[in-house]
A and B are shown apart, each in its own frame.
Chain A
Amino acid sequence: MFEASPINLKNLTRQKIFRFLLGSMTATLILPVALILGTLIVKGAPVISFDFLFTSPTNGMTAGGIFPALLGTILLVLVALLASVPLGVAAAIYLSEYAPDNWFTRAINLAIINLAGVPSIVHALFGLGAFVLFFRFGTSILAASLTLAVMTLPVVIVATRESLQAVPMAFREACWNMGATRWQTIRRIVLPNAVTGILTGVILEVSRTSGETAPIMFTGAVFFLPFLPQGVFDQTMALSLHLFVVSTQVPEMPEAVPYGVALVLIGMVLLMNSASIALRMYLRGKKKW
């Protein structure tokens, strides 16, 4: 009485076919990632060395290392963070914890969404107009970093706001009912429990910022500099732009160099992302409610 009927068999065959189809389509997702990483490692790994990472390019950039570009990218990201994190976190706290639901708040939310949708080349031109020319920062680390900061502000705001809103309302009510002010509630209960999410957002911002090319091209990053930047008003080299230069602008470039640069850049981003995931898992494990 429990043997398979012909219809059962037909349905089961069909189910197997679709399972295989859907599964193999999913598997193709890995393909581009595996190919990119594989190619970069195979072709780029041989040039990676201590000297490659920590010396300056020589011989019209066809030899030597990438240190000024590596340092430049780190500087650009750091200054961008210094500008966007305080501003973004403060805005997110206001929007999530204080802002009443009125036309003004809705206008701000709309602005944030639109800011996230602006193409990076438009940010670049905005940065050129605003920071380089209007504020007279010149093409400098400061101007480039501020441009990056504006571009990544929505990421910080959205990540922070989401992690604030993940803190249960019951905690806030408990505090308010004891006569705590909004700020006491935020400072003592909401922020400590949202810090994981905020950090994750910040790290993701870092990984995104470090790869951007267009916004820094007009505002502070240059093809080649014979010296290291001495302050935020100097220009700098950057990994992403350096990759573009060594790939397309320099004749007789050894083939391995662009791959090496790309590998360093992607390695930096992957390292950041893994750190973000690890941090999130660690802090989530400590949290209990």
Chain B
Amino acid sequence: MTTRENSTAIDTSLAISTRKLNLWYGTFQALFDIDLNIKQGLITSMIGPSGCGKSTFLRTVNRINERMDYVRISGEVDVMGENIFGSDVEMLQVRKQVGMVFQRPNPLPISIRKNILFGHTIHTGGKTGKAEQDEIVESALKQVLLWDKVKDKLDHKATTLSLEEQQKLCIARLLPVKPSVLLMDEPCSALDPKGTEAVEELLWELRGKYTILIVTHNMAQARRASEECIFMLMGKVIEHTETGEMFLTPKHKETTDYIEGRYG
């Protein structure tokens, strides 16, 4: 696992890299020649108007798009240096490596503890001793700053938690299978400002340990909570730079127009 201390060393290695990625829903083309290099250990945000292909891109990186048989993909996507569409690639391993968090928290209708252990169980066959399980649950919940709040009610249904806690739990349950990339599709849009702040705080906490790619409609959030920023429009990447630079000195007119709120 990489840490912030040696981040200079890993900055050069890429978590996600795509070459000429095109995607069609039936006859509608949603992504055009996407060439992106997303660095390991950073928080990268994706902004752009609705329908610009942000979520589609996210859903391509963990190969969840393919379950719809009218989706067609060309080009290459590498995760941690390996092509995820390679012939000897098992899709289930890609999804294990690339976790996903959704707009609406979607904890499973089972206990908090079982939610955390779910991914671990399905990938190991569930033959883990109780002590080790306890350790996994505690470590995952501590990483998302939820342990103190829920440690006395691990057997409660996860759906009884507040939305903010549910979203943190959804992040926590990805961690036991040791993913390298976390994809987040507007993870705060169902939360109130306080919940949003708490989740953003958590992102900084996880930064360095995981590569985080977060789609957001909230430009203030992109500015606050990410180090690099990608601006997309009509299925194309317009600009990809360091976040501060994007908001201070955007290079393209479309970017300027969007971040100044002239369309959205």
Interface residues of A (CB under 8 A from B): 100, 168, 170-171, 173-181, 184, 188-189, 193, 287-289
- The reply to whether A178 and B96 contact each other, CB–CB distance below 8 Å, is yes
Q: List 24 A-B contacts (CB under 8 A).
A: A100-B69, A170-B102, A171-B108, A171-B109, A174-B106, A174-B107, A175-B118, A175-B122, A176-B95, A177-B64, A177-B99, A178-B95, A178-B174, A178-B177, A179-B93, A179-B94, A179-B95, A179-B177, A180-B119, A181-B92, A188-B118, A189-B110, A287-B109, A288-B157
Q: B95, B109, B118, B119: which contacts A289 (Cβ < 8 A)?
A: B109
Please, how many angstroms separate the alpha-carbon atoms of A171 and B74 in the complex?
A: 29
Q: Majority SS of interface residues in chain A?
A: helix
Please, how many angstroms separate the alpha-carbon atoms of A100 and B102 in the complex?
A: 25
Interface residues of B (CB under 8 A from A): 62, 64, 67, 69, 92-96, 99-100, 102, 104, 106-110, 118-119, 122-123, 157, 159-160, 170, 173-174, 177
A173 contact set on B, CB distance < 8 A: 64, 102, 106
**B67, B110, B122, B174: residue with the most chain A Cβ atoms closer than 10 Å:** B122
B157 contact set on A, CB distance < 8 A: 288
B160 contact set on A, CB distance < 8 A: 288
- The reply to whether B122 and A180 contact each other, CB–CB distance below 8 Å, is yes
Please, how many angstroms separate the alpha-carbon atoms of A223 and B42 in the complex?
A: 81
Whole-angstrom distance between the Cβ of A185 and the nearest chain B Cβ: 9
Quick one: closest A residue to B115, CB to CB?
A174
Whole-angstrom distance between the Cβ of A285 and the nearest chain B Cβ: 13
**A173, A177, A193: residue with the most chain B Cβ atoms closer than 10 Å:** A177
Quick one: closest B residue to A174, CB to CB?
B106
Please, how many angstroms separate the alpha-carbon atoms of A188 and B117 in the complex?
A: 12
- The reply to whether A179 and B119 contact each other, CB–CB distance below 8 Å, is yes
- The reply to whether A177 and B109 contact each other, CB–CB distance below 8 Å, is no
Please, how many angstroms separate the alpha-carbon atoms of A193 and B108 in the complex?
A: 11
Q: 5 other contacts beyond A177-B62, A179-B95, A288-B159, with CB at 8 A cut-off? A: A171-B106, A173-B106, A175-B108, A179-B123, A180-B118
Please, how many angstroms separate the alpha-carbon atoms of A30 and B95 in the complex?
A: 57
Whole-angstrom distance between the Cβ of A69 and the nearest chain B Cβ: 44
- The reply to whether A178 and B122 contact each other, CB–CB distance below 8 Å, is yes
Please, how many angstroms separate the alpha-carbon atoms of A26 and B94 in the complex?
A: 59
Quick one: closest B residue to A168, CB to CB?
B106
Question: Given A171-B106, A189-B109, A287-B109: A176 and B67 within 8 A (CB)?
Answer: yes
B159 contact set on A, CB distance < 8 A: 288-289
A170 contact set on B, CB distance < 8 A: 102, 104, 106
Quick one: closest B residue to A184, CB to CB?
B122
Please, how many angstroms separate the alpha-carbon atoms of A179 and B100 in the complex?
A: 11
A176 contact set on B, CB distance < 8 A: 64, 67, 95
Whole-angstrom distance between the Cβ of A17 and the nearest chain B Cβ: 48
- The reply to whether A179 and B92 contact each other, CB–CB distance below 8 Å, is yes
B96 contact set on A, CB distance < 8 A: 178-179
B93 contact set on A, CB distance < 8 A: 179
Q: A174, A175, A184, A193: which contacts B170 (Cβ < 8 A)?
A: A174
Q: A178, A189, A287: which contacts B173 (Cβ < 8 A)?
A: A178
Please, how many angstroms separate the alpha-carbon atoms of A177 and B106 in the complex?
A: 11
A175 contact set on B, CB distance < 8 A: 108, 118, 122
Whole-angstrom distance between the Cβ of B125 and the nearest chain A Cβ: 11
Please, how many angstroms separate the alpha-carbon atoms of A173 and B65 in the complex?
A: 11
Please, how many angstroms separate the alpha-carbon atoms of A75 and B160 in the complex?
A: 44
Please, how many angstroms separate the alpha-carbon atoms of A289 and B108 in the complex?
A: 9
Q: B69, B95, B110: which contacts A177 (Cβ < 8 A)?
A: B95
B102 contact set on A, CB distance < 8 A: 170, 173-174
Please, how many angstroms separate the alpha-carbon atoms of A100 and B93 in the complex?
A: 23
Quick one: closest A residue to B107, CB to CB?
A174
